[in-house]
Chain A
Amino acid sequence: MIINLDHFIATERPRWERLEAMLRRLAEDPWREMPLEEARELEALYQRACADLARLRTYAADPGTRAYLEGLVARGYGEIHGQRAARRRLRPWAWLARGFPQAFRRRLGAFWLALALVLVGSIFGAAALAFDPEAKEVIMPFSHLHGDPAERVAEEERRALDGEDRGEGARATFAGQLMVHNTQVTLTAMALGLTWGIGTVVIMFYNGVILGAVCFDYVVAGQSVFLAGWLLPHGSVEIPAMLLGGQAGLVLAGALVGRRERRPLAARLRAVMPDVVTLCGGAALLLIWAGIIESYLSQHHEPALPYAAKIAFGLVQLAALVWWLARGGAAEEKRAAADGARAEEAGA
């Protein structure tokens, strides 16, 4: 069969142009709520364009018309089939209160693994320093930690007593630098999941080594209270945030490896993507807070700010974080599970 192309184009072109205009309007305003009538018209026009494309491919020659129609059908397909998933508005509060903690709990295994890696690294760092105190300069990348902890504490407390504030006039800059640096490290831990998790494992372990070495150094020097007062206010948020980055990286690695999975790689990656992104977003948010606390609170010492108050602040903050991650959105999850069970019973 040979179709009359000119007649075909002349007849169908107004519909194609109408579909194109509707798609353009949707593209210009992604949040627009489409009335039911318009949605029906969009679907009818899309179906018609699909049929035209199939007809044209079978019976006619014009590659220009075909390319035009293919573009139209591709755009229409994305709009019609991608609607439900992509068109939802961002709901920051719902994400914060429910989405983030739920994603965290869904991937809890990866979190425990990240935590175990940091703990093993900490033990290694402490052991390395115990057996070879000279290794301090190699293990710790920060020069202000290379000296004797007792001397540093004495110096910090003398400054606090004299009312000397080294950070005065540079706290916001320091906070900004901490936020950016820590976020980059956390995102790197996530991204290195692409190396089948090897890079993530190395980063988690290495951070554990530094943490373990610093803690060992201060504890052995009898400065445990200073250490807790210095680390807990920001560390109680910063370290979990880093672990979240590691968790995201390990989730990504798990999808790449695909152990005991029958789905193809693309489907596995698609399945973990929302949780990976959510974990990264949550970690970034925590790091903004940690940067502010580290710059404005952690650097103040006794007698200006009692260690007990700093430690209490850190512990309360840690408890709140644990509660949030453990309980956030749990009621909704329970309700959804109960609904599912009821529906299953009704089906049976």
Chain B
Amino acid sequence: MKERTARYRVVTPEGVEFSFRLASPVLRAAALIVDWAVVSAAWSLIAILISLLGVVSMDLAIGAMVVGYFLLSRGYAVFAEWAWRGQTIGKRVLRLRVVDARGLRLSFAQCLLRNLLRFIDALPLAYAVGGVAALLNARGQRLGDLVAGTLVVHEPVERAPAAEAIGAQKHNSLRGQAALVARLRRETSPAEARAAWQALARREQIEPAARLTLYAEMAAHFREVGRVPEELVDGLTDEQVLRNVVDVLYR
């Protein structure tokens, strides 16, 4: 069995790398249930409209119902995924999307094939074949996805980042100290700077006790590598010291 990964990385011919977050089987099942509900609801409305044909001919109405249900149940996912860039209503609700495994746009053939093969994945019941195939596949692909070259990914809302993510320091006792700032920048590796920035940006996600310890250790580290004079940080909390350091590192 190949190792399962939560993300699938694509490297473009230009060498740009981006990744997709693979959808979990639970989310996919939930999207499927929503889609079943949508098809059922849509069919109950369409069936009423088709039954009006009974005024002309009951035979025609029943024939249209037989074909209509087949088209709706088989065609809904195909056309929704094609028209809405890999999304059905269920996938939209659960923030899932079908994407081409190479990162390209989905083609109609891909949408059609992955949905035509769905019934094989659904065998013998409750998507057992598709579930086992997805478990054995590092990218979580059911058989239909494997053949069509598609993946189902999770797309959480990503808003455009705001500037001033950690807040500008109005007063910073280190700012005027050119030699000290130069030393701090020289002695601090990008990884250390990133860690400090992260520690502040994720302030609310860290438990208070752990946060105090983390900030104390980081502040001590930067005071040591930057040889920060005591009078510049006298009376400041460890968090304030850390904010001042990050401010001068990134500004």
Binding site for B on A (CB under 8 A): 1-7, 9-10, 13, 16-17, 20, 27, 30, 50, 53-54, 57-65, 67-68, 70-71, 73-74, 77-79, 81-83, 85-87, 90, 169-177, 179-180, 183-184, 187-188, 190-192, 194, 252, 266, 269-270, 273-274, 276-277, 280-281
Query: What residues of chain A lie closer than 8 Å to B185, measured between beta carbons?
Result: 2
Interface residues of B in 205-251 (CB under 8 A from A): 249-251
Please determine whether B194 and A78 come into contact, CB atoms closer than 8 angstroms. Answer: no
Query: Cα distance A281–B108 when bound, in Å?
Result: 12
- In the complex, residue of chain A having the shortest beta-carbon distance to the beta carbon of B53: A172
- In the complex, residue of chain A having the shortest beta-carbon distance to the beta carbon of B69: A180
Query: What residues of chain B lie closer than 8 Å to A177, measured between beta carbons?
Result: 63, 66
Query: Cα distance A4–B251 when bound, in Å?
Result: 5
- How distant is A7 from chain B, measured CB to nearest CB, in Å? 8
Query: Cα distance A183–B75 when bound, in Å?
Result: 13
15 contacts between A and B (CB under 8 A): A5-B165, A6-B168, A50-B12, A61-B197, A64-B165, A67-B156, A74-B99, A169-B59, A172-B60, A191-B117, A191-B119, A194-B120, A269-B147, A273-B148, A273-B149
**Do A179 and B14 contact each other (CB < 8 Å), given the known contacts A85-B104, A266-B149?**
no
Please determine whether A2 and B162 come into contact, CB atoms closer than 8 angstroms. Answer: no
Report the stretch among B16-24, B29-37, B41-49, B171-179 that lies at the interface.
B16-24
Interface size band for B: 35 or more
Query: What residues of chain B lie closer than 8 Å to A9, measured between beta carbons?
Result: 161-163, 165
Query: What residues of chain A lie closer than 8 Å to B158, measured between beta carbons?
Result: 64, 67-68, 71
**Do A74 and B70 contact each other (CB < 8 Å), given the known contacts A61-B193, A82-B105?**
no
Contact of B190 among A13, A59, A174 (CB under 8 A): A59
Please determine whether A77 and B12 come into contact, CB atoms closer than 8 angstroms. Answer: yes
Query: Cα distance A176–B119 when bound, in Å?
Result: 21
Query: What residues of chain A lie closer than 8 Å to B2, measured between beta carbons?
Result: none
Please determine whether A61 and B18 come into contact, CB atoms closer than 8 angstroms. Answer: no
Query: What residues of chain B lie closer than 8 Å to A70, measured between beta carbons?
Result: 18-19
Q: Is B57 an interface residue (CB 8 A)?
A: yes
Please determine whether B113 and A2 come into contact, CB atoms closer than 8 angstroms. Answer: no
Query: What residues of chain B lie closer than 8 Å to A71, measured between beta carbons?
Result: 18, 155, 158
**Do A30 and B149 contact each other (CB < 8 Å), given the known contacts A2-B193, A194-B117?**
no
Please determine whether B160 and A20 come into contact, CB atoms closer than 8 angstroms. Answer: yes
Query: Cα distance A63–B249 when bound, in Å?
Result: 18
- In the complex, residue of chain B having the shortest beta-carbon distance to the beta carbon of A10: B163
**Do A176 and B67 contact each other (CB < 8 Å), given the known contacts A2-B185, A2-B249, A269-B146?**
yes
Please determine whether B250 and A2 come into contact, CB atoms closer than 8 angstroms. Answer: yes
Contact of A172 among B59, B70, B99, B168 (CB under 8 A): B59
Query: What residues of chain B lie closer than 8 Å to A3, measured between beta carbons?
Result: 250
Query: What residues of chain B lie closer than 8 Å to A79, measured between beta carbons?
Result: 105
Query: What residues of chain A lie closer than 8 Å to B148, measured between beta carbons?
Result: 269, 273
Query: What residues of chain A lie closer than 8 Å to B161, measured between beta carbons?
Result: 9, 13, 62, 64-65, 68
Query: What residues of chain A lie closer than 8 Å to B57, measured between beta carbons?
Result: 172
- How distant is B133 from chain A, measured CB to nearest CB, in Å? 10
- In the complex, residue of chain B having the shortest beta-carbon distance to the beta carbon of A187: B116
